[in-house]
Structures are given as C-alpha cells and as structure tokens.
Amino acid sequence: MEVFLEKYREPLPKPLEELERKALSEDVPIIRSGTRDMLRFLLRERKPKEVLEIGTAVGFSALCMREYLPKSSHITTIEKVEMRLKEARGNLEMLDEDDRITLLEGDAAKVLKQLLIKGKSYDFIFMDAAKGQYLNFLPDVIALMADDAMLVSDNIFHDGDVLESRYAVLRRDRTIHGRMREYLQVLCEKEELETICLPIADGMTISTKKRNGKGE
C-alpha cells in the first residue's frame, strides 16, 4: 500500500529528504510517511500558533512540521538523549533559518512541569517519545493544552505488539505492551478529551480538548 500511495504523496524538500534517508540508514526512529501525511493535513487545516513536540530525535519531525505551519507559528521540542541532541542541534541550526523551532534539553517529565510553572499553553501537541512514558506525561500534557487544542500520539501500536494478546508478545516487551494499552484506555476515557484511534502508519490517536471541558 505504501508503494502505491507514494506517487500521490507531497514530496519533501531536498534537505529533509536527505535527512530522512540518513536517519533511516542509521536506524534512527523518525516519523513514518503516513504520520507525516496526517501531520501535514492537520497542521495546515488548524494552523496552530504554538506547537509542542515531545521527542525530537534528530529534529526531522519538527522540521517537517515547520514546513506545514504558517511563518508566525512556533515549535517547541523536547529531547533528552545526548547522542540525538547533538544531531538535532546541528540539523536545526542548518535548516531552521528563521529560528521557528526551540529545542529544550532534558527529561520530558521535568520539562513539562517547568512549562506549566511558566504558564505555557499549546494549540497542538505531538507526542512521539518513549512509549512507556506516554501515560506518565498525559496529565501535564492535558494541562498544557489550550481549549480546542489537539494532541497527536504516535506509534500507539508499538510495531503491532499492542494489537496482540499479552502472551503472544515477547516477555521483554510485555511491560510496554501493558503500558500502551493502559494509555489508550485512559486517554479514550478522559472526559475533557474527544479521542479517535487511527490505523495510520504504526497507529496514532488524535485527541481534541473540549472547550471548558464541555465539548462546546
């Protein structure tokens, strides 16, 4: 299916195409084409002013989102892995010419709380960090969402494992299997959110925060 869809897909700018090729050749986890397509559609439709990304990796997804946003929009992205931070810094310095992306370094659990203390609020949040931490991040993520803000959680199927029975999954993967299933359950039951699960790429959820918690 991906091969068929590729001919209808909007091509990446050459520098991003090269960055994608390099990341894939080095087994760096970056967003899949289907995820990129959905982000492009959502961002162009909603035109959020303030975007938060949890999980920068080498900066590929942040740079893609930058392409899909108005020039007045700003992206804040969080990463803690030093090896990836070094690459991300270089990529952002080279490709984010007008400084529309801010890279925050550190554990997302701590950085999210710091953003809350500063009174920050975001119109769009993209969560693509360690899958076992999604549930831990969720309360602060919701608190950082403005009314009618959107949260996109990526890789919710965890390479298909989450769709399988716990006993069909390798023992070493059972903890994250349980954590992701719990995250989906909690996320979909949040009264202040409207959530849909989509079988795009490795699975994603799209949630919107109801205005004043009433869905108005």
Mean pLDDT, range 86-95, rounded to an integer: 96
pLDDT at 190 (0 to 100) = 96
Ranges of H-type helices in the chain: 2-6, 14-25, 33-46, 60-68, 82-95, 108-117, 134-144, 174-189
**pLDDT above 50: residue 72:** yes
pLDDT band at 48, cuts 50/70/90? Answer: very high
Give the number of domains in the chain.
1
Kindly list the distances between the CA atom of residue 22 and the CA atoms of 17, 27, 28, 29, 57, in Å, as whole numbers in the listed order: 9, 9, 9, 11, 13
Report the percentage of the chain scoring pLDDT > 70.
88
**pLDDT above 80: residue 2:** no
Q: pTM to 2 decimals?
A: 0.90
pLDDT at 162 (0 to 100) = 46
**pLDDT above 90: residue 174:** no
Print the domain residue range for 153.
2-213
Distance CA 101, CA 96 (A): 7
Residues 6+ apart with CB under 8 A from 197: 156, 184, 188, 203, 204, 205
- As given in the structure block, the two tokens for residue 48 are 């959020």
φ, ψ of residue 190 in degrees (nearest 5): -65, 120
**pLDDT above 90: residue 88:** yes
pLDDT band at 163, cuts 50/70/90? Answer: very low
pLDDT at 6 (0 to 100) = 78
pLDDT at 167 (0 to 100) = 44
Mean pLDDT, range 190-215, rounded to an integer: 87
**pLDDT above 80: residue 90:** yes
Report the percentage of the chain scoring pLDDT > 90.
74
Supply the CATH number for residue 118's domain: 3.40.50.150
Tens of pLDDT, residue by residue over 110-157, are 999 999 999 999 999 999 998 889 999 999 999 999 999 999 999 887
Tens of pLDDT, residue by residue over 14-42, are 999 999 999 999 999 899 999 999 999 99
